[in-house]
Every structure is written in structure tokens, then in C-alpha cells.
């Protein structure tokens, strides 16, 4: 048993923390949230220089050839830094390509992703549909050798920035178990309309309406109509990464709270001496300890290619609820100052709510866990 990152992973973490602290401090994050694009090409170029978009991409495709655990270490730091922008959403798309694409598609796409020239995003949810793949309504209909796509997707992250969107569809004559596919869609196509949604934390999500979009077979990933298991696995991997991001954020929230409790003087002593606030801080620490190890454990399973479906559902269930609780208590500890827009804390507490829903909230995850424990 070993609960530590490797030396290289520790270096990556430190580099990421230093870089984000210098290049994208929280003031910049706040500006980006108000910015229409929520992103600067300069920051993206610097992240590309560090090799981040290609970290998980094998060297043969121009990537760094890092492991899943490497990506976990990086994403955790991004959560800690409250980084905004398309890195995470593009990473999920990258994983889809790595997991499902043909050799030809990989050769076409991966080098461009690694060099930062191609930004991806993924589209799963729909109005009234969360992450229950069987409920997907967006339709791909065969027309000769081509496909015609119709449907509406919701909560598509950074669709306004993406060069390519991976859209989950069901196929016309499919049974419930089969007939799910991922298509590579150009968000700028005239048959695709993206409109930004107002979100809790100011992150950029869109509603995407696809009408009569014609695509060749070359735009479909994986074996025809057999995508469900692969897409399920992809979503589970993305969920692990989301847990890592949340965990990094939760760590930052605890750290800033502890600092505040030590420095803020009331009644002529630091408020951190008060039992009620010590209890809050301890509860935050317990929740965070749980987030860490339940996340690392499942991340390790992904890394080792072990089955992890149940583990990730448990991890996301815990992280969704624990991160929210941690933020709630952090606000109580900070008092009124943490209620200000310019304070760092709301960056995290608003994000915690968005993350809670991403890839399914606790209720969603526990529906699966209930089956897994034999109910």
C-alpha cells in the first residue's frame, strides 16, 4: 500500500501550483468569469508549452505519454487554483478519442490536441436527461452511408471555444441496450446552434441544437451502435477526474479557512480558538480526508486498468456532498467577508454546486451503488 504520488507527480503538482499562481491567480479567474469567452489564447499557449493538453496522449501522437494518475495530479491542482477555461472539457473529449477512436481518427486528432491547436468538448446531457445514457433522445439516422443528426444537448461546456464537439446519440433502429454512438461534430456548422446558458458559477456552458446535420461514417467513433459500454467507461473516467478537481478545490477552501481562523481576531483572540469554529474546521478536514482517499483509490484503479464502476459512483457521491458541506462550513467560518463577490471563497462554493451535478450528483450515483450492493 502506498498513499503517495511519485516524485515526478509531485514535481508536476508543484509546477502546476506555481504556474497557476503566477499565470492565472484568482483575480484573473474572476476577470475570466466575467469575460464573454472565459479564456485567453495566451494562457492556453502557455499551458500547451508545458505539455498539458497532451499529457495523457501517447508519445507516438505527439503527446507526453503520461499516466492517468499524472492527469489526476494535474487536475487536482487546477481545482485548487479554481482554473476556468476549456482544459477539463477538452480533456474529457481527448479521453473519448483515446478510448474510442479508430487509428485513423487518432492519427488525425491527437497530434492537434497535443499541440494545443484543437480544443474539444463533449455533449451528453439533454433537456430532462442527465447522464442516463438509455434516456438519450438525440438521434442519428442512417441515410445511405451517411448519418443525419437531430437533437438538443444541454450543459455543453465551452462549446463556444471548442473546435470539435463529441456528441452522444442514439441510433434509429436501436434497442435500449445498444445503439449509442459518439459523433465528431463541428460546433460552427450551420446546422448547429450554440447558445450560452446562465450558470451558477459563471462557467461557460451552452445549449446546443443540432438540426439535420449530415455526417460521414468517418465522423463516428468506435464500433457502430455498440458505444454504450465505452461511453459509460469514458464518463466514469471523467467522473474520477471531476472528483480530483473537486478535491483540490476543497483543499484550497480548507486552507484558506484555517488561515482566516488563525488571523481573524475577535474578542481579543483568534476566532480559531472558539470551539464552535474548531468543530467546523474539523468537520471540513474529515470530509476532505474522505474525498482524498476515496478519489485516489479509484484513480489508482483506473490507472491499473482494474474494474472501477462501483468505486467511482461511491467517490462521486461522497465528493459531491462533502465538497458542498465543506464550502457551507467555510462560509460560516469566514463570516460576512466571504459573502463578497471579490472574495476567493465564492469562486469555490459556487463551483462546488456545479461540480456536484457534473457527471451525476449524489442521488444519481447512489442509484447505481444501490444496485451494486445487491438491492
Partner 1 sequence: MDFRFSPDEEKLRQEVREFCQKEPPESFPHEIEDEGYGFGGWSRAFTQRLGQKGWLSISWPKQYGGMGGTVMQRYVSAEELAYHRAPQYGHLFGDAVAAGLLSKGNEEQKMEFLPSMAKAEILFSTGLSEPGAGSDLLNTATKAVKDGDYYVINGQKIWPTGAHLAEWCLLLARTDPTAPKSKGLSTFLVDVRWPGVTVNPIIDMAGAKSFTEIFLEDVRVHKKYLLGQENRGLPLVFEALEGDRFWGRCIRHAGSRKDLEELVEYVNDAKYDGHRLKDNQVLRDTLAEIAVELQVSRMINYKAAWLLNQGKSISWESSVVKVFADELGQRLAHVGLEILGPEVQLGEDSKWTKLRKRFTFLYKFNRGLSLAGGTSEIQRMTIATRGLSLPRG
Binding site for partner 1 (CB under 8 A): 1-5, 69, 254, 258, 261-262, 269-270, 272-275, 278-279, 281-283, 285-286, 289-290, 293-294, 296-297, 299-301, 303, 311, 314, 317-318, 362-363, 366-367, 369-370, 372-375
CB of 143 to partner 1, least distance (A): 41
Instruction: Give 27 or 263: the residue with its C-beta nearer to partner 1.
Output: 263
Q: Phi, psi at residue 127, to the nearest 5°?
A: -55, 120
CA 2 to each of CA 5, 66, 227, 293: distance values in angstroms, whole numbers, following the listed order = 8, 19, 35, 11
CB of 351 to partner 1, least distance (A): 22
Instruction: Give 234 or 281: the residue with its C-beta nearer to partner 1.
Output: 281
Instruction: Give 187 or 249: the residue with its C-beta nearer to partner 1.
Output: 249
Instruction: Give 177 or 273: the residue with its C-beta nearer to partner 1.
Output: 273
CB of 96 to partner 1, least distance (A): 25
Take residue 283 and report the three cell numbers written for it.
Answer: 468537520
- Residue-by-residue DSSP string for 18-41: HHHHHHS-HHHHHHHHHSSS---H
CB of 153 to partner 1, least distance (A): 27
Instruction: Give 11 or 363: the residue with its C-beta nearer to partner 1.
Output: 363
CA–CA separation, 32 vs 24, rounded Å? 9
CB of 299 to partner 1, least distance (A): 7
Q: Is 305 helix (H, G, I), strand (E, B) or coil?
A: coil
Give the β-pairing of 139-143 and 180-185: unpaired
CA–CA separation, 257 vs 345, rounded Å? 9
Instruction: Give 112 or 292: the residue with its C-beta nearer to partner 1.
Output: 292
CB of 300 to partner 1, least distance (A): 5
Dihedral of the alpha carbons of 66, 160, 43, 21, in degrees to the nearest 10:
-80
| Contact indicator for 325, 274 with CB cutoff of 8 Å | no
CA–CA separation, 330 vs 257, rounded Å? 6
Amino acid at each position: 500500500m502506498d498513499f503517495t504520488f511519485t516524485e515526478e507527480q509531485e514535481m508536476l503538482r508543484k509546477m502546476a501550483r506555481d504556474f497557476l499562481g503566477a499565470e492565472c491567480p484568482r483575480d484573473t479567474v474572476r476577470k475570466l468569469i466575467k469575460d464573454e469567452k472565459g479564456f485567453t489564447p495566451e494562457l492556453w499557449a502557455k499551458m500547451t508549452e508545458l505539455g498539458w493538453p497532451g499529457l495523457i496522449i501517447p508519445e507516438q501522437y505527439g503527446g507526453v505519454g503520461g499516466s492517468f494518475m499524472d492527469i489526476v495530479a494535474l487536475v487536482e491542482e487546477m481545482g485548487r487554483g479554481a482554473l476556468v477555461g476549456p482544459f477539463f472539457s477538452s480533456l474529457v473529449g481527448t479521453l473519448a478519442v483515446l478510448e474510442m477512436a479508430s487509428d485513423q481518427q487518432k492519427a488525425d486528432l491527437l497530434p492537434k490536441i497535443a499541440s494545443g491547436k484543437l480544443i474539444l468538448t463533449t455533449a451528453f446531457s439533454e433537456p430532462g436527461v442527465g447522464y442516463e445514457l438509455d434516456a438519450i433522445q438525440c438521434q442519428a439516422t442512417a441515410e445511405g452511408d451517411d448519418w443525419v443528426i437531430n437533437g438538443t444537448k444541454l450543459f455543453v461546456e465551452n462549446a463556444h471555444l471548442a473546435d470539435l464537439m463529441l456528441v452522444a446519440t442514439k441510433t434509429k433502429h436501436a434497442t435500449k441496450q445498444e445503439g449509442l454512438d459518439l459523433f465528431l461534430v463541428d460546433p460552427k456548422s450551420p446546422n448547429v446552434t450554440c447558445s450560452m446558458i446562465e450558470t451558477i458559477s459563471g462557467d461557460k456552458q451552452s445549449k446546443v441544437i443540432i438540426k439535420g446535420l449530415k455526417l460521414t461514417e468517418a465522423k463516428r467513433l468506435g464500433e457502430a451502435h455498440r458505444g454504450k459500454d465505452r461511453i459509460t467507461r469514458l464518463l466514469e473516467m471523467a467522473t474520477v477526474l471531476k472528483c480530483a478537481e473537486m478535491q483540490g478545490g476543497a483543499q484550497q477552501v480548507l486552507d484558506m479557512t484555517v488561515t482566516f481562523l488563525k488571523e481573524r481576531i475577535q474578542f481579543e483572540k483568534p476566532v480559531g480558538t472558539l470551539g464552535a469554529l474548531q468543530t467546523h474546521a474539523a468537520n471540513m478536514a474529515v470530509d476532505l480526508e474522505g474525498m482524498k482517499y476515496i478519489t485516489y483509490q479509484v484513480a489508482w484503479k483506473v490507472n491499473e486498468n482494474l474494474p472501477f464502476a462501483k468505486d467511482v459512483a461511491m467517490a462521486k457521491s461522497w465528493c459531491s456532498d462533502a465538497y458542498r458541506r465543506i464550502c457551507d462550513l467555510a462560509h460560516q467560518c469566514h463570516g460576512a467577508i466571504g459573502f463578497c463577490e471579490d472574495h476567493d471563497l465564492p469562486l469555490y462554493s459556487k463551483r462546488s454546486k456545479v461540480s456536484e451535478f457534473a457527471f451525476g450528483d449524489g442521488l444519481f450515483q447512489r442509484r447505481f451503488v444501490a444496485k451494486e450492493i445487491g438491492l
